[in-house]
Amino acid sequence: MSEWLEVIARSLLMLIVLFLLTKVLGKKQLSKLSYFEYIVGIIIGDVAGTLTMSTEASLFNGITSLGIWAGVSVVISMISLKSKAFRDVVEGKARIFIKDGKILEENLKKERISADELLEMLRKKDVFSANDVEFALLEADGELSVLLKRDYRAVRPSELWLHLPEEKEPKAVIMDGVVMIDVLNSIGRTREWLQSKLREKQVNINEIYLGQLHSDGRLTLDYYEDAAIDTKQLEE
């Protein structure tokens, strides 16, 4: 086999292997990484790259190495689920940056975070004044969680003694111009009911890209020809 064909074959093989390893490692590997997951990701990527480009490298040894690293990652994840102390070592612990409206400078120093960086992290949370913050916590994955002071929080309906109906996920009853019969059945509606709603607006099903039925009875429609037809809302 010529060298370039071997590189193509190795690349396709590594793509399949990495896909399978990612499935084994789980969706957590795709989100914010812990210290160990970060290291495992770098090593797996480096090994896979070497196996792809170096035709002299042993595929068997390389794939074995990838399997070992993935297996170690899975084992560590399982141990972390059972042991808080072990999880704190492997994944790290959260650290408080602001408490009771006061910035804890010592904790910032421990994480080597400057005041400028703290303000930048707050701005990414749409907070432009540290004085507005009641509590801020740097999570183990590096994300900053922020609780604003009461005066700066959005008012919740419960604070106004309002009892609003529960809002559920909108159901897609039309998708790509096709009626989703299973969805209609699951919410106790029929195709005839949907067609009657569409007839009221003189709309054909095949003109609709997406139709969603909301928990309050609204049927919102998005059309293929958005420029020609305005978005309409039908009330139940």
- The highest-confidence range among 47-51, 102-106, 168-172, 222-226, by mean pLDDT, is 102-106
CATH number of this structure's domain 171-234: 3.30.240.20
CB 129, CB 137: distance < 8 Å: no
What SS3 class is residue 236? coil
Q: What is the pLDDT of residues 132-173, one digit of tens each?
A: 999 999 987 788 999 999 888 887 777 677 776 776 788 899
Phi, psi of 157 (to 5 degrees): -55, -35
CATH number of this structure's domain 95-152: 3.30.240.20
49-63 mean pLDDT: 84
Task: Please give the model's pTM, rounded to 2 decimal places.
Answer: 0.57
Helix (H) / strand (E) element for 209: namely strand 208-213
| Residues whose CB is less than 8 angstroms from the CB of residue 80 and which lie 6 or more positions away in sequence, other chains included | 86, 87, 90, 91
CB 45, CB 57: distance < 8 Å: no
Show me where the domains of the chain are located: 3-88, 95-152, 171-234
pLDDT at position 98: 93
Whether 171-234 and 95-152 are alike in CATH topology: the answer is yes
pLDDT at position 105: 92
Task: List Cα–Cα distances, 111 to 116, 142, 184, in angstroms.
Answer: 14, 10, 52
pLDDT at position 30: 55
CB 55, CB 6: distance < 8 Å: yes
pLDDT at position 2: 73
Question: Is the model more confident about 166 or about 28?
Answer: 166
